[in-house]
Structure 1
Amino acid sequence: MTPEAIKEQLKQVKYPGFSRDIVSFGIVRSAAFVDGTAKVSLALTTNDPKTPLQLKREVEACLQAMPEIKETVIDIAVSAPKAPAPTGGGNLAGNAANSAHAKIKHAVAIASGKGGVGKSTFAVNLACALAKSLADAGRPGRVGLMDCDIYGPSVPLMIGLSGRPNIEGDLLIPMEAHGVKVMSMGFLIDDNTPVVWRGPMIMKTVQQFVQNVKWGELDVLLIDLPPGTGDAQLSLVQTIPLDGAVLVTTPQPAATNIARKGGLMFQKVNVPLIGVAENMSYFVDPAGQKHALFGEGGGELTAESLGTSLLGQVPLIPEIREGGDAGKPVVVTQPASVAAEVFTQIGATILDRLAKKPGTPAPDA
C-alpha cells in the first residue's frame, strides 16, 4: 500500500457541501501506510467546527473500505482564516463563502489550446444563448461572462460594451448586455495600453475578477480563458472550483493536437471536461454546397481521445464575424439562423450536464 494509493482512494471524499474532492483542493498534506495502519494528515482553514469532524468521519470510512487497512490515524490541523476574503497566491479556496462569487451555481471555463480558433467569439455567443434560454425559462440575468484573456480582451467589442464599470464599496459592478453580466480587463485599460505583465500580476487579476466583482446570483458563470495552460488557468483553478471546461478547437490537426493538451491539463487538476466544441467546422456556399475548409472530424477525434463528447459544430459564416465586430452577436440578431441554433443546442447540452452535478462555490481549504 503506497501513499499514492491512499490519496487515490481519498479522491472519493468530497469537501462537505461541494462537488470537488479533498485531494484536488490540497487538503490532504501527507499519507502513509505502516503495519496495516493508514496515517493521513489534513490541513484546513475554516471557522466551522463541524467541518473537521465530518471530514474525519468520511476519511475514516473511505479508508476502512480498503481491505489492506486495519486501522486509521487521521491528523487534522485547523487554522482560522486570516481575513474575510482571500488575497494573494497559494490555495485560495479558504473563505470563499464570504466572497463575491458565493452565489454562483456553476462555473465553466471556455478554453483552447491555441489562439485563433474563435474561442472568445464562441464564449460570447454561448453566453447570449444561455441568457436567452434561461430568460425564456423565467430566470433572466442569471449568466455571467468573465473575460480572463488578459493580454487580448476582445469580449467587450464582441458583446457591444464599452466604458468603465461602476464601483460599490470595494466591489466592481459587472456591465451588462444581452442579458449577460460581463467583466473584462478591456473595461479597465485604455485601448492603446498594452498589458505587459508577469505571471503573478495575471494571477492577481484573475483572483480579483472572481472575488471583487459583484456577480450576484448566477446560474452559470462562463470564464473565457487565454490560450494555453499557464498562469491564468492555474490561478483560476486555485481560486474557484470549476464545474467543468469546454474546449474550443477548429477541425485541423494544428488546432486539435494542442486542444488535446489543454484538455489533459484540466484533467490533471481534476476539472471535468463537459465536451469539445468544433468551431469553423464548415462553410456553405451560396449554392448550398458544404465545404470543409479546415478539414473534418478533428473535434470528434479530440473529444474521443479525452473521453468526452463533441458538443456541436459551429459553421464558418460571415454573420458570426460581422456580429462580433459590431458588438451584436449572431445569436441575438439572427436567432433563427443555423449558427444561433447550434449555439442554443450546445448551451442546452451544457445546462443539462451541469444539472446532473451540484453547483460549486469554493470551500474552505
Structure 2
Amino acid sequence: MTVTTESLTAALATVLDPEIRRPITDLGMVRSVDVADGGAVTVGIDLTTAGCPLRSTITNDVTAAVSKVAGVSGVHVEMGVMSDEQRKALRTQLRGGVAEPVIPFAQPGSLTRVYAVTSGKGGVGKSSVTANLAATMAADGLKVGVVDADIYGFSIPRMLGVEHPPSKVEDMILPPVAHGVKVISIGMFAPAGRPVVWRGPMLHRALQQFLADVFWGDLDVLLLDLPPGTGDIAISVAQLLPGAELLVVTTPQLAAAEVAERAGSLATQTRQHVVGVVENMSWLEQPDGSRVEIFGSGGGERVSERLGESLGYPVPLLGQVPLEVGLREGGDTGVPLVLSGSTSPAAMALRAVSSALTARSRSLAGRPLGLSPL
C-alpha cells in the first residue's frame, strides 16, 4: 500500500505539543516528512528550544501516530531546533497576531473565570485547597491554569507534581503541565533552597509577567494562590485582574477567622467580588465516626456571615474540609487527594467546592454583547 504525504500529515495533526497543547502541524514544528521504499518514514521535527524537556515525549507521540498509518513499516524522528524567525512567528501566532504581551484575562472579551484564593494568615491550607480545586476542575474536562502568586512561600509545583521547568519561545514562557493543569511559579526559576528577597515593585512585575508573558491558551478557569494577608500581591491582583473573584480560606479557629474577614473585606476597596468561603481543617474524624474539633468550630460560618454583612450580598460557606492524612500526603507526593479515587470526607468536600464554583453563571459585567444601534 502506498503511503501518502496527506495521510502522514493527518496523522501528525493528532499529535499535540505537550506544553502548548496544540497540534504540532499548526505550530510549524513539522519540518519535513519523507517516505522511502518499503514504507519507512522519516519525520523532521523542529523543537522550540534545543533543551526541550519533553523531547522524548514528542518523539514517542510522533512515532505512535505515524505508525498507525497503513503501509508504514518504520518511523524515524529527526529532531532539530526552530530558527529565530520561526520562534518569532510562533510567538506572534500564539498571541493571536499581537507581538507585544498583554494580560488576556483582563480583556473585555475574556471568558476565563479567575479565582484568587486568599487567606488572612498563613498555615490554613490555602495552597492545598488551590491544588485540589485545580486538579478536580481539570479532571472534569475544564482547561485550567494556576499562578503560584505566593512568591515567598511557593508550594504549588510540589503539590501538583510539576516535573520539569518551563520552556521559552523568545520572551514567551510555556508553562509546564501537571495533571492537565498549566502551572507557573517563581519556584521554577529560583535556585533550590534559596529565599526570594524582593520588595513591592519586583513582586508586581513578577505577577505581571506570570499573567502576560506566559502562554496560557484558552483557559476555562485560572486560579491564583495568593500569599496570606492584604499586601502587595493582593493589591496587584486587583489592579491587573479587576474581574478576579476572591475565594477566602480559613480554619474554624476564631483567631484565624477574624484575620480572614480582613482579607475578604479588601474587596470593598478593590471592588472585587467574594465568591465564597472554604473552611479547612474543620475536624478530625475518629475510627468510631466521632469528630475531634482540634481548631474549634464555627470559623467558616462566622467569616461567611460577617463578610455578607459588610459587603452587602450573600457570601456562602462553600465547604468544610476535615483534617486527613491523605490530603497532606497528596500534597507531598504531587498527586492531589481528589485524583486518588478517594471518597473520603475531605475529597468529597473539595469536589463539592469545585462543582459550586464551576456551576455558577457568568456575569455580563464588562463584556461586549455585540450590539449596535439601528
TM-score by length of 2: 0.67
CA deviation string 1:28-65 (max 9, x = no partner): xxxxxxxxxxxxxxxxxxxxxxxxxxxxxxxxxxxxxx
Could you say if the C-alpha distance between residues 245 and 113 of structure 1 is closer, same or farther in structure 2, counting changes exceeding 3 Å? same
Q: Confirm or deny: 8 A CA contact 1:264 1:306 kept in the other structure.
A: yes
- What residue in structure 1 maps to residue 372 of structure 2? none
Q: Confirm or deny: 8 A CA contact 1:323 1:330 kept in the other structure.
A: yes
Q: Quick check: which has more Rg, 1 or 2?
A: 2
From 359, 363, 368, give the equivalent of 1:357.
363
Could you say if the C-alpha distance between residues 98 and 129 of structure 1 is closer, same or farther in structure 2, counting changes exceeding 3 Å? closer
Q: Confirm or deny: 8 A CA contact 1:143 1:219 kept in the other structure.
A: yes
Q: Distance in 2 between matches of 1:245 and 1:277?
A: 11
| 1:163 Cα deviation from its structure 2 partner | 3.1
Letter in 2 for 1:332: L
- What residue in structure 2 maps to residue 347 of structure 1? 354
Letter in 1 for 2:324: I
**2:280 is aligned with 1:274:** no
| 1:342 Cα deviation from its structure 2 partner | 1.0
SS of residue paired to 2:266:
helix
Q: Distance in 2 between matches of 1:270 and 1:243?
A: 10
Letter in 2 for 1:117: V
Could you say if the C-alpha distance between residues 103 and 169 of structure 1 is closer, same or farther in structure 2, counting changes exceeding 3 Å? farther
SS of residue paired to 2:162:
coil
Letter in 1 for 2:196: V
Could you say if the C-alpha distance between residues 321 and 193 of structure 1 is closer, same or farther in structure 2, counting changes exceeding 3 Å? same
Q: Confirm or deny: 8 A CA contact 2:105 2:112 kept in the other structure.
A: no
- What residue in structure 1 maps to residue 334 of structure 2? 327
Q: Confirm or deny: 8 A CA contact 2:106 2:242 kept in the other structure.
A: no
From 100, 119, 124, give the equivalent of 2:126.
119
- What residue in structure 1 maps to residue 285 of structure 2? 284
1:164-175 aligned within 5 A: 164-175=165-176
Q: Distance in 2 between matches of 1:172 and 1:208?
A: 9
- Number of positions where the alignment pairs a residue of Structure 1 with one of Structure 2: 265
1:191-206 aligned within 5 A: 191-206=192-207
| 1:101 Cα deviation from its structure 2 partner | 11
Could you say if the C-alpha distance between residues 343 and 358 of structure 1 is closer, same or farther in structure 2, counting changes exceeding 3 Å? farther
- Percent of aligned positions that are identical: 42
SS of residue paired to 1:110:
strand
SS of residue paired to 1:152:
coil
Q: Confirm or deny: 8 A CA contact 1:103 1:218 kept in the other structure.
A: no
SS of residue paired to 1:314:
strand
From 337, 340, 364, give the equivalent of 2:344.
337
Could you say if the C-alpha distance between residues 358 and 220 of structure 1 is closer, same or farther in structure 2, counting changes exceeding 3 Å? farther
Q: Distance in 1 between matches of 2:194 and 2:210?
A: 19
Q: Confirm or deny: 8 A CA contact 2:174 2:215 kept in the other structure.
A: yes
Letter in 2 for 1:348: S
| Aligned-residue RMSD, C-alpha | 2.3
TM-score by length of 1: 0.68
CA deviation string 1:82-104 (max 9, x = no partner): x9757xxxxxxxx6459899856
Q: Confirm or deny: 8 A CA contact 1:105 1:361 kept in the other structure.
A: no
Q: Confirm or deny: 8 A CA contact 1:129 1:344 kept in the other structure.
A: yes
From 299, 315, 321, give the equivalent of 1:314.
321
Q: Distance in 1 between matches of 2:105 and 2:126?
A: 31
Q: Confirm or deny: 8 A CA contact 1:147 1:223 kept in the other structure.
A: yes
1:1-365 aligned within 5 A: 85=100, 96=103, 105-133=112-140, 135=141, 139=142, 142-307=143-308, 308-353=315-360, 355-358=361-364
Could you say if the C-alpha distance between residues 98 and 279 of structure 1 is closer, same or farther in structure 2, counting changes exceeding 3 Å? closer
**Does 154-163 or 205-214 show the bigger shift?**
154-163
| 1:105 Cα deviation from its structure 2 partner | 1.3
Q: Confirm or deny: 8 A CA contact 2:108 2:366 kept in the other structure.
A: no
Q: Distance in 2 between matches of 1:207 and 1:255?
A: 29
SS of residue paired to 2:287:
coil
- What residue in structure 2 maps to residue 73 of structure 1? none
Q: Distance in 2 between matches of 1:317 and 1:360?
A: 41
SS of residue paired to 1:313:
strand
Where in structure 1 are there 5+ consecutive unaligned residues? 1-82, 87-94
Q: Confirm or deny: 8 A CA contact 2:117 2:246 kept in the other structure.
A: yes
Q: Distance in 2 between matches of 1:204 and 1:221?
A: 19
Q: Confirm or deny: 8 A CA contact 2:104 2:212 kept in the other structure.
A: no
Could you say if the C-alpha distance between residues 361 and 149 of structure 1 is closer, same or farther in structure 2, counting changes exceeding 3 Å? farther
Letter in 1 for 2:332: D
Q: Distance in 1 between matches of 2:248 and 2:323?
A: 18
Q: Confirm or deny: 8 A CA contact 1:278 1:299 kept in the other structure.
A: yes
Letter in 2 for 1:322: E
